[in-house]
Amino acid sequence: MVSERTVGRTVIRLRKGDITAFEGEAIVNAANSSLWMGSGVAGAIRRLGGESIEREAMGKAPIEPGEAVVTDAGALKARYVIHAAAMGDDLATSEALIRAATQNSLYKCDELNIRSVAFPALGTGVGRFPVDKCAHAMIDEVFLYLQEETDTSLREIVFCLFGEETYQSFSKVLEKRG
């Protein structure tokens, strides 16, 4: 199984584990358009990073589904949290929203000159989107972004994946992108 690919000057990596432990510059939160942080990835970020992350995020809400905003990362090891609204307030998502949220998160990275970012499998928890379809959508968007934005600041894009099944799904898609 493949766990790494390089596109231009950027390495795309897969890791099993908790995104809140990522030691790079930014992590992506699987957010809703009102940016309240209830359960799943958002809840873990709020619990471990502090309530200030949710307060700052909600101060920038609401945003359109598919958009992204950036906050401080509180007590987390990362510097920033990119809140990617992969779903609306109804907590429903789609491939189009996951693609847009991924792309807009990458744009935020370049706006802030971020070199390393970690993504969860957007929309697969609370949003109940199929993991295999999420893997295709997110990896495809990352490859498209890196092929178009050749002057990106990004040097490392990590998919922090919770659970063996999710990791295997992403690994299969990354292997086919070869």
Query: How many CB atoms lie under 10 A from the CB of residue 133?
Result: 16
Q: What are the beta bridge partners of residue 160? A: 15
pTM score, whole prediction: 0.97
Range of the domain at 131: 4-177
Read off the pLDDT of residues 145-154 as tens digits, 9 standing for 90 and up: 999 999 999 9
For residue 136, give the CATH number of its domain: 3.40.220.10
What is the total count of domains within the chain? Answer: 1
Q: Which amino acid is at 6?
A: T
Instruction: Of 134, 28, 33, 31, give the one whose Cα is nearest residue 88.
Output: 33
Closest C-alpha among 24, 19, 21, 50 to residue 37:
50
List, for residues 27-81, the tens digit of each pLDDT value: 999 999 999 999 889 999 999 999 999 999 999 999 999 999 999 999 999 999 9
